[in-house]
Amino acid sequence: MASHSKNGFLLIHGLGSNCTVMRPLEDFLTNKGFKVLNITLPGHNTSSKDLLKIGWQDWVHYCQGKLELLMEECPTTFIVGTSLGGVLALYLAAINPELSGVISCATAVKPYNFLSWFVVNFRFIHYFVRWIKIEKISSKFIGNPQNWEAYKKIPVKSLVEIAKLLDELNPILGNIKQPILIVHSENDEAVSIKGITQITSSISSKDQSIARISKGGHVIMLDEGCTQALTEIENWIDVRISKIDFNLFN
């Protein structure tokens, strides 16, 4: 197996979960010889109450720090994020033009259903409704992921923090010029597949690819669509790294 240790990947999970969500991709990339950093965001993998102390800046600063560490070791670096992690991946791509590419999974950058629209427009709601119980809606909106370790409830305040992050992201989406792969399940009930066009119509990248996953739900890497998603990601990576290597030696 060829060594790809100079090619790095930062993996970022979604709200209320942890790095377990990205473990299949971590194992897949590691077995290919890539350097992989699969992180757990601040306020996660402890108690859901810890999320009440976390603002969007905390997530961004933490991810930026990890990205800089990875880039010190790997001249070719990619970011992969799912859901909230996908939003963070896009934000990092917008402020780090030296990145080699970005992969966003199950991601939207604008309101995509009534709940997201309501939170964006009525942010004071978190003072009156403090929690959303994920366990009650997971079977419909999340799908049936295997071995998914996540909070049973998340603060509405965290949704407001995502709205604030989107306020910062949307004006700079045009800064994203790196190659991008957008992965989305056609059966995702948590984040509308409209998220694809929300992203493609706003970024400046001339190298845009879309992978529509036919099975599974929102937690793509732990659901039925994982195999297809990994294949799509592998094919995309092979082409982009080949282009980078060609440009380096010519």
CATH code of the domain covering residue 102: 3.40.50.1820
For the chain, how many residues are written? Answer: 250
Sign for the CA dihedral angle at 231, 237, 240, 244 comes to: negative
Domain limits at 46?
4-248
* pLDDT at residue number 166: 95
* pLDDT at residue number 238: 94
pTM passes above 0.75: yes
* pLDDT at residue number 89: 98
| Angle (CA) 23 192 116, round 5° | 100
* pLDDT at residue number 129: 74
2 band by pLDDT with thresholds 50, 70 and 90? very low
Residues 6+ apart with CB under 8 A from 125: 118, 119, 156, 160
Instruction: Tell me how many domains the chain contains.
Output: 1
Structure tokens at 227: 């195999």
Residue 38 has pLDDT above 80, yes or no: yes
Residue 107, exposed/middle/buried by CB under 10 A (0-12, 13-18, 19+)? Answer: buried
Residue 102: φ, ψ to 5°: -140, 140
The CA distance from 186 to 173, in Å, is 24
